Amino acid sequence: MKYIINSGVHRRISCPVHIENSDGSLPLSLAADGKQVPVQQDGNTLVFIPLPLETGETAVYSPSTVAVSEGVHLEDNGDRISVTMDGDEFTNYWYKDVPARPYFWPVYAPGGVPVTRAFPMQEIENETQDHPHQRSLYFAYGDVNGVDNWSELPGHGYTIHKSVDELVSGPVFGRFATTSDWTSPAGDKLLTQKASVTFWRGDSACRLMDIELTLTASENDVLFGDTKEGGILSVRAASSMDVERNDGGHIENSFGGIDENEDWGRSAHWCDYSGMVDGHKIGIAVMDHPHSFRYPTYWHVRNYGLMTANPFALAAFTANHPEPKEGSHLLKAGESIRFKYRIVIHTGDAAEADIRQHYLNFVSPPIVTSSEV
């Protein structure tokens, strides 16, 4: 069996692809032009990350008996899920004995450089110490039936981890799935959260995380209120990346908007925060998918280091517009709302990392066909 990939009208870099695996065979690796790439089973498909392809280029991959070592390893340690890539620490998902909700920390860019802030989990010299609820990378929202599941102020709500439902390691990707409850301060259940996070094997330039989040009104109707105090997927960048610092960073969105004045409250397909950390220029991009609610999402992104996808805060974002909007959303009992994101953690800024191309890979991957000839 051979697998033929045509890049089409785009350049393809670090782009996971799926192809139906009808006969159930799983080679040790795939080879093209004498180079091997790992391959992994994912349900009824084979998954691999092809070597880079230029626009209009075609590559043919054949099964190989050469094994590719290392990969993505996940381990449930009882209080967190640890993730390593090729033996190097990538991140931890902390879910037990957390103040308000689970979070990812630390999160490392290629080369072992932290891309998110350590406070309040750890105090580091020259880091800011504002907004202690902005814990590195997390899921939250500030008005759920009037409950604040965003801050850690008195009377805040909670996301309570219930179970780890899937834990996968492999040469191409690792994945975990969890179930959590969103509750009031008194413990009354508001929502059921199902989260699936896939970590793709990275390289020296980038690491990818795909996040699928489903929130279900499992008890009663749930109203997501219109507030800027929240975001379904939120990132607090490392402090040295803050735009407002003299040697600080750079925010850019898919329309070319620069920094908070042009990105805050705007709808965009992706948003990227980059800057210098320990002498390295790195960044983190969050990308919205067409399958997400209110795609493309709006962005609550600040020069002080916060970047969060917030599809509900339309009144806050359009308050000074000639025709302001209202963004609250009623989720009827039994209904679900879904979000799908890709996070690209990269070297360089958005232009140097070609985040635009990464986004096109996410929403419009290349065509892959198979042939027995």
Residues 341 and 289 sit within 8 Å (Cβ to Cβ) = yes
What pLDDT score was predicted for residue 373? 66
Q: Determine, yes or no, domain membership for 290.
A: yes
The range of the structural domain enclosing residue 297 comes to 72-363
Distances in Å between the alpha carbon of 51 and those of 14, 33, 37, 263?
Answer: 7, 10, 8, 33
Q: Determine, yes or no, domain membership for 157.
A: yes
- The mean pLDDT value for 143-149 works out to 98
132 and 16 within one domain: no
148 and 27 within one domain: no
Residue that is last in its domain, among 45, 69, 93: 69
What pLDDT score was predicted for residue 351? 97
Residue that is last in its domain, among 69, 98, 125: 69
- The mean pLDDT value for 127-137 works out to 97
Distance CA 244, CA 250 (A): 9
What pLDDT score was predicted for residue 22? 66
Q: How confident is the model at residue 67 (pLDDT cuts 50, 70, 90)?
A: confident
65 and 136 within one domain: no
The better pLDDT of the pair 247, 363 is held by 363
Q: Determine, yes or no, domain membership for 357.
A: yes
pTM of the model: 0.96
Q: How confident is the model at residue 372 (pLDDT cuts 50, 70, 90)?
A: confident
Could you tell me the maximum CA-CA distance found in the chain, to the nearest angstrom? Answer: 66
**Share above pLDDT 70 across residues of the chain, in percent, rounded to a whole number:** 99
146 and 51 within one domain: no
Lowest mean pLDDT among 23-27, 167-171, 255-259, 300-304: 23-27
Q: Determine, yes or no, domain membership for 368.
A: no
Number of folded domains that form the chain: 2
DSSP symbols for 329-342: EEE-TT-EEEEEEE
Q: Using one digit for the tens of pLDDT, what is the confidence trace for 176-222?
A: 999 999 999 999 999 999 999 999 998 999 999 999 999 999 999 99
What pLDDT score was predicted for residue 246? 74
48 and 89 within one domain: no
160 and 43 within one domain: no
77 and 54 within one domain: no
Q: Using one digit for the tens of pLDDT, what is the confidence trace for 72-122?
A: 999 999 999 999 999 999 999 999 999 999 999 999 999 999 999 999 999
How many residues comprise the chain?
373
Nearest to 282 by CA among 182, 206, 185: 206
Q: Determine, yes or no, domain membership for 369.
A: no
**Is the model's pLDDT at 133 over the cut of 90?**
yes
**Is the model's pLDDT at 150 over the cut of 80?**
yes
Residue that is last in its domain, among 43, 69, 95: 69
Q: Using one digit for the tens of pLDDT, what is the confidence trace for 228-281?
A: 999 999 999 999 999 999 777 999 999 999 999 999 999 999 999 999 999 999
Q: Determine, yes or no, domain membership for 6.
A: yes
Residues 90 and 81 sit within 8 Å (Cβ to Cβ) = no
322 and 189 within one domain: yes
Q: Determine, yes or no, domain membership for 273.
A: yes
Residue 239 CA from chain centroid, whole number: 20
272 and 256 within one domain: yes
Q: Using one digit for the tens of pLDDT, what is the confidence trace for 18-65?
A: 988 867 778 889 999 889 999 999 998 999 999 999 999 999 999 998
- The mean pLDDT value for 277-287 works out to 97
Q: What is the CATH number of the domain that holds 331?
A: 2.70.98
- The mean pLDDT value for 287-301 works out to 98
Distances in Å between the alpha carbon of 113 and those of 91, 231, 347?
Answer: 11, 25, 10
64 and 86 within one domain: no
Residues 201 and 171 sit within 8 Å (Cβ to Cβ) = yes
